[in-house]
A and B are shown apart, each in its own frame.
Chain A
């Protein structure tokens, strides 16, 4: 891994971000819904709406609006939300930790399930039904699995909370990740409360990840297990679990990692639905609300931040692929 590679990728990422910001910006300026009308409400007289349009700079040429947008972007200013009337960067800073926490929890759960799902058929015999159950769970549309989880565990059984991040909504800490903050504060009831709140939405998000990654990992594991070095490993008397985990999984991992990158991409859509269903105050919910009120700057800002986030993650995955398997060039 060389510095020049990272540099090249960084330049590539910035250019993708720039052209993407332009593409999305152009799309957004074509949107028929009028943000000025959305702020003013349906009963405001037309003259006042026009004033508002001038105030928001909506009457300027598209290229001027985009230039203004990029200039501010360089200064870390994403503009002001039409809906919340606050700087979007602040809004994102406020809502990002919640989404980040949820996404990380979902990936921890999902990848654990995925490895279990892929390895089970190799270790035990009756894994067929379990695998089938996983495929079934992964075939549920995301809003259905989220609603079913909420319906059963919250509405019917009352075991777990079905809305929000904490019982105490004023809970706050240095990182913004409630579980981490609670652990840092040594506050055991808060840890339990935060975990209880996160488990259902994280589970809903984890199912598709587990199924997709588990399937890819399983299929490349089957290929790897045919290889001669597996026979060698068995021949020198290693335990089967050691053969699978030390020798096979490592060689099957790069293909699965590519699927993880795809899942990060798909997560954004699922996050919108799951945060909506579980009233999780994160970027997904913010995005849904912004879309609902035709809040262009907010939608644009969130899209850019999430894209940058996704670009960083995909770079990370590419690097780790080549770390695991040195033969893969970067």
Chain B
């Protein structure tokens, strides 16, 4: 796809989809540079506790007087970057497994399908709970636990796409021209399979973030001092009626991230449909 084609396919985007795609970019930049953007030190006491939101402390302060805005900014980093990393790792891993038969030998398909189906059929959350219970809570452990049940979705999409593309004329033409397996997979099949995978991945970011925050809510997420958004929300739930900003602000950040990634997923799908 060259640049002009890309620009033309971007045209049918609606305002909200554009908003979502741009929002995701901004979010990634904010998450990556959170350390320099925080107005106060997010990990130490900077004011009296339980200050309500004001111009000085945008989101108020928490129970020990830490600036909530700074903590939420850092929380975006602690939530967004791991979720992004997890989705990318699962995407790469799943795609690899999915195209393996096409890459090596078509007879492998029976084995990879059984392998994918086995992981696919596991009830993900329950397995994740078991894994975390075994390894203990922590960022890496949570990601492993979620990843175990996550990658097969991309593997399945990749496999389905490969099977769909293999009977297309341009692949047959390439095969007739004597293109080898590896080159066929990388140059002819993968580009065709990528749109479906990317859309699924974009829409999935919000699912991953929700799963991470769900784990935190059940007390299986990152341990206490970490400013992970889900954990921050569940730790402050008791103060919902008195100090609403404590649970609401981090939850609103989760909501914003998920909302943007959903809009972006729709936008990306619209873009790739055009191409």
Which A residues are closer than 8 A to B by beta carbons?
A: 12, 16, 19-20, 24, 27-28, 30-33, 128, 132, 135-136, 138-144, 147, 151, 155, 211, 215, 219, 262, 265-266, 268-270, 272-273, 276, 288, 291, 299, 302-303, 306-307, 310-311, 314
Contacts and interface: CB of A to CB of B under 8 A. Distances in A.
A135 B123 contact: no
8 contacts: A24-B126, A27-B133, A265-B124, A266-B124, A269-B125, A272-B214, A291-B133, A307-B123
Contacts of B207: 266
Closest 5 CB pairs of A and B: A269-B125, A139-B258, A139-B259, A27-B130, A303-B126
Interface stretch (B28-36, B66-74, B181-189, B262-270): B262-270
B18 to A, nearest CB: 14
A138 B203 CA distance: 12
A28 B258 CA distance: 32
A269 B217 CA distance: 11
Contacts of A302: 126
Nearest to B256: A139
A128 B124 CA distance: 33
A141 B79 CA distance: 13
A5 B28 CA distance: 47
Given A138-B262, A266-B125, A268-B124, 14 more contacts: A20-B122, A28-B130, A28-B134, A30-B134, A132-B16, A139-B255, A144-B233, A265-B124, A269-B126, A276-B218, A288-B218, A299-B133, A307-B122, A307-B123
Nearest to B156: A258
A206 B119 CA distance: 26
Given A147-B240, A219-B269, A141 B126 contact: no
Contacts of B99: none
Contact of A141 (B118, B123, B258, B263): B258
Interface of A is mostly: helix
- Range of interface residues on chain B? 35 or more
Contacts of A128: 16
Interface of B is mostly: helix
Contact of A268 (B125, B134, B233, B269): B125
B262 A135 contact: yes
Contacts of B214: 141-143, 269-270, 272-273
B125 A272 contact: yes
A135 B263 contact: yes
Contacts of B230: 141
Given A30-B134, A288-B218, A151 B251 contact: no
Contacts of A139: 206, 255, 258-259, 262
Nearest to A208: B210
A219 B131 CA distance: 35
Contact of B123 (A12, A31, A310): A310
A268 B126 contact: yes
B52 interface: no
B213 interface: yes
A31 B133 contact: yes
A151 to B, nearest CB: 7
Given A141-B251, A291-B133, A307 B258 contact: no
Contacts of B131: 27
Contacts of B126: 24, 268-269, 302-303, 306-307
A303 B130 contact: yes
